[in-house]
Structure 1
Amino acid sequence: MSKKNADEAGLEIIETPEALAGQINKAEAFFIKNRKIVLGIVGAILVAIIGFAGYRFYIDGQEGTAQNALASVVYDFEADSLQKALNGSGGNEGLLSIADSYKGTDASNLANFYAGVALLKQGKYDDAISHLKSFSSSDLLIQARAQSLIGDAYFEKNLPADAISYYQKASDYEKNEYFTPVYLMKLALAQEKASKPADAIATYKRVIEEFPLSSEVVNAKKYMGLLEGQVGK
């Protein structure tokens, strides 16, 4: 059928009751023939919609409780009372409980970040990595910070290759003049520890060339010079 004829057929459906009735009859026949399939699809869509609405209602109800619990425990975290912050005190829930009990809420997500930092300070690197990996944020600074902290944990575990991966993510994430040079310095040190001097030199050069006003430039030049002397450049 040509485009013109197709257009005319379309107009016929609109303009003549007989043509419209024919299309309705075809639709009815299709529904009768495929009734179970059609109803099954419609039912699945309704279940998904109702399920999502119910989930959001539940999560919204949990969010207020979780935020209140988090507000209480942050004081302990900021006071460096890490054990109290992690496990709770005086009837208040701790970061570990908030992260686990209110999954899906913003408070649980943030509790994972705080818990990761506290566990890292305590030298519990595997637990710190687990909580920090469970954290995600659209914030330009905090997400990169979380990646860098995961790198720190791997570095302390003497796993420089894994540390390199996360320092790279941190340094590549939404670059800025203040924190990116710090992440690059960590990356270079991990590359040195992983016996990758050429990569480390290249990273130190990035600090010097891309962030010339950074306070990290002095150390970048010093460490790069030492490394170049060692590899004979």
Structure 2
Amino acid sequence: MAKETVKNHSEFEELVENPDALAERLSQSEDFVKKNKTKLLVAFTTIAAIVVAGFLWYNYKSTRSTEGHNAMFQAVYYFEQDSLNKALNGDGQYLGLLAIADQYDGTDAGNLANFYAGVALLKQGKFAEAQEYLEDFSADDYLLQARAYSLTGDALLEQGKSKEAADMYMKAANYNANEHFSPQYLMKAGIAYEADNNFSAAAEAYDKIITDFVASKEVSEAKKYKARAEALAGNN
């Protein structure tokens, strides 16, 4: 590294002290630019185009997301008032959650519309559709994402897909596990496993509450459910 530094320094001194050497170096640079003018122009143009396209796409998505959030205001109001048909399909003047999820797909607003739509459809008993929208939702908020997993489990369980539901409840319970919500999801998982006649897995879910969340209010009930599941597992 030291030798390379000395070499570079010597070359710099030569260029400064020797005008002919400097002129020669500049001439070489000019020749390089002339020979590669087209390639350089294409490279610079491509880079500029990528930067501009990225900037325009970011602004486009930001604008669309803002529009989507504004459109959601009335739909969410209907949702909170339990006017589920208007929340999902709109009222003729304002868009509903289904249209917002479709038209603003790929934006934060469209993503959130998936969650609301999934919950509304679940309340209406449209379980397969609810599952579809809930699975299209994703969030950085670990509580909301875990909730979405649990609701997906509800939709699956209502369709008679007990094993898939139990697995989804376990996913919710293990997603940034916490004392308040994880025991609830584990109870659901245990019940779903029992519905699938997998009593060993059910007992394990209940036991996880007992051992990992000792201060939770579900512990007492989990102990009773575990004993029952173990007894049923022993009879199979």
Same fold (TM over 0.5): yes
Q: CA deviation at 1:93?
A: 0.7
1:46 to 1:201, Cα distance in 2 relative to 1, 3 A: same
1:23 to 1:136, Cα distance in 2 relative to 1, 3 A: farther
Alignment match of 1:222 (pick from 196, 221, 224):
224
Partner of residue 127, structure 1: 129
Q: Distance in 1 between matches of 2:183 and 2:70?
A: 36
8 Å Cα contact 1:73-1:85 kept in structure 2: yes
Q: Distance in 2 between matches of 1:28 and 1:99?
A: 56
1:200 to 1:13, Cα distance in 2 relative to 1, 3 A: farther
> Larger Cα Rg: Structure 1 or Structure 2?
2
Partner of residue 12, structure 1: 10
Partner of residue 187, structure 2: 185
Partner of residue 91, structure 2: 89
Q: Distance in 1 between matches of 2:207 and 2:66?
A: 48
1:5 to 1:206, Cα distance in 2 relative to 1, 3 A: same
Alignment match of 1:145 (pick from 140, 144, 147):
147
Q: Distance in 2 between matches of 1:224 and 1:69?
A: 47
Q: Distance in 2 between matches of 1:26 and 1:148?
A: 68
Q: CA deviation at 1:21?
A: 6.8
Q: Distance in 2 between matches of 1:97 and 1:124?
A: 17
8 Å Cα contact 1:14-1:20 kept in structure 2: no
Q: CA deviation at 1:175?
A: 1.4
Is the partner of 2:142 in helix, strand or coil?
coil
Is the partner of 1:141 in helix, strand or coil?
helix
Q: CA deviation at 1:200?
A: 1.7
TM-score, normalisation: structure 1: 0.86
Alignment match of 2:197 (pick from 178, 185, 195):
195
Is the partner of 1:212 in helix, strand or coil?
coil
Give RMSD over aligned pairs: 2.5
Q: CA deviation at 1:24?
A: 6.2
Is the partner of 1:138 in helix, strand or coil?
coil
- Structure 1 regions of 5+ residues with no counterpart? none
Percent of aligned pairs with the same amino acid = 42
Q: Distance in 2 between matches of 1:154 and 1:30?
A: 66
Structure 2 residue identity aligned to 1:5: K
Is the partner of 2:82 in helix, strand or coil?
coil
Q: Deviations over 1:120-178 (max 9, x none)?
A: 12222232222212222111211110111112212222223322332222111111111
Q: Distance in 2 between matches of 1:195 and 1:21?
A: 87
User: Which of 52-61 and 93-102 deviates more?
Assistant: 52-61
Q: CA deviation at 1:225?
A: 0.8
User: Which of 132-141 and 85-94 deviates more?
Assistant: 132-141
Structure 2 residue identity aligned to 1:151: G
- Structure 2 regions of 5+ residues with no counterpart? none
8 Å Cα contact 1:13-1:20 kept in structure 2: no
- Number of aligned residues: 231
Q: CA deviation at 1:196?
A: 2.6
